[in-house]
Amino acid sequence: MLPHSLCRLGDSEAPANRRYAWPQSLAATLKKNRMQKLAIFIIGLIFISCNQVSTKREKTANSDSLTVERTNIKALRDSTNRLLDVATTKDTMEFQSSEPFMFFKSGNILSSTQKNAIVIVCPTDTTYAVRLYSLRNNSWELVDSISNLDAFPSQFELTLDDYNFDKQKDIYIQTSASQGWSLSRGHLFIIDPVTKKLARHEEARNLANMKPDPKTETVVSELWNGYNDKNQHQLTILTNKWVNGKLKTIKQKNVTVK
């Protein structure tokens, strides 16, 4: 036990307010951590702000796109009604516009006994809608329609021919045509000769340059295989036949074309 004098001496020499001196390295570390947290907080605010701006821009763009689409649909509907009114008293009529895309054709285009109108529109720039009308009692009636078809208006071409040999012309809409040896591909619609309903044949999408052959009741198509060493075209001629309501390839033949 310490003498009383030593206890008093120790008390008198001790500072009134004790302070702990932080090591400089620890203070620097704490300051660095605070700065890092502040930087992360600021970056988070910036990210949230940018994300909100991006979301707002996307909503605006989607809204603008929807507005344009609705405007196009209304314009196309109004144009269709006007063209149908005029076509009522015309033997044949054809019209095409580019913005928005629209194709109209009327007359005895599918059979010699009935007047029809085909309307093909592209309200979204990427999809077609096809409508088939029949004139009955001097009034146009919508018989059938198909929407959401892949579209490429710049390469649009319409072909009306009897692809399944039932004495009823059908509809082929070209959506692409390659360069060089041109290969036309598109949508094939078989029209029921009685109901005039449209039946789309997806199996024909990859059949290029389709041409119906009434003598053999087959549909001939082509496949380009490139060039040979003499720079001549190498083709495969496909013979397709209707089997259970669908086109099926039954024969292939390789040919060379200069």
Pick among 3.40.50, 2.40.128, 1.10.287, 1.10.238: CATH of 64-206: 2.40.128
- Local confidence band at 70 (pLDDT 50, 70, 90 cut-offs): low
| Residue 146, token pair as written in the block | 């198909």
Q: Which of 70, 95, 71 lies closest to 85 in space, CA to CA? A: 95
Burial 171-182 (b: 16+ CB within 10 A, else e): bbbebebeeebe
Locus of tokens 């300051």: 31
User: What average pLDDT does this structure show over 228-244?
Assistant: 95
* Contact predicate 91/116, CB 8 Å: no
Tens of pLDDT, residue by residue over 116-163, are 999 999 988 799 999 999 999 999 999 999 999 999 999 999 999 999
Give whole-number Cα distances, 179 to 37, 144, 172, 224, 251, in Å. Answer: 60, 34, 20, 11, 26
pLDDT tens, position by position, 209-218:
999 999 999 9
Share in percent of the chain as helix, strand, coil (round to 5): 30, 40, 30
The reported pLDDT for the residue numbered 256 is 95
More confident residue, 230 or 46: 230
Residues with Cβ within 8 Å of residue 206, at least 6 apart in sequence = 185
Q: Is the preceding peptide bond at 100 cis, omega within 30 degrees of 0?
A: yes
| Gap between the Cα atoms of 124 and 61, Å rounded | 14
